[in-house]
Amino acid sequence: MSTKKIAILSRLFVFGMIAIAGCSKTSTIVVNPGSSITETMSFEKDIAPILSNSCALSGCHTAGAKAPDLSAANAFKSLTDGNYYKATDPDNSVIMMWLTGKKSPVMPIGKGPDETINAKIYAWIKQGAKNN
């Protein structure tokens, strides 16, 4: 094989590897992630800490930033007033659609679906989304 052909094939190979490495999956759709959780989910103990640590970050879901305000003091009221969930119907709740990738952008931004977060929030909604 000539040097010119080898150079062309090498460049094509490198370009192909760069193109493949640049591809990334930005959403994963998870079905019924909280079905296996049988213990009662508490908004205060289980859900609010997740929202505070994963969503209520600077520039994200805090007061004066992107709605809903998911800071510990305002999360339940913001989720309820904004109709972000349908009690006992997590599959049709907007918050679950964002968390599972059925609605874009996938939350949490930059991290994508988190099975533990999704399972707990799914179970909390399925259990009636109580402020407990």
Lowest mean pLDDT across 11-15, 40-44, 51-55, 83-87: 11-15
Predicted local confidence at residue 111, as pLDDT: 80
pLDDT digits (tens, 9 = 90+) for 59-96: 899 999 999 999 999 999 999 999 999 999 999 999 99
3-class SS at 124?
Answer: helix
Q: Are 28 and 118 in contact (CB under 8 A)?
A: no
| Percent of the chain whose pLDDT exceeds 70 | 77
d(CA 37, CA 48): 17
Q: Taking the complete model, does pTM exceed 0.75, yes or no?
A: no
Query: For the chain, which residues make up each domain, given as ranges?
Result: 26-126
DSSP 3-state helix, strand, coil percentages of the chain (rounded to 5)?
45, 0, 55
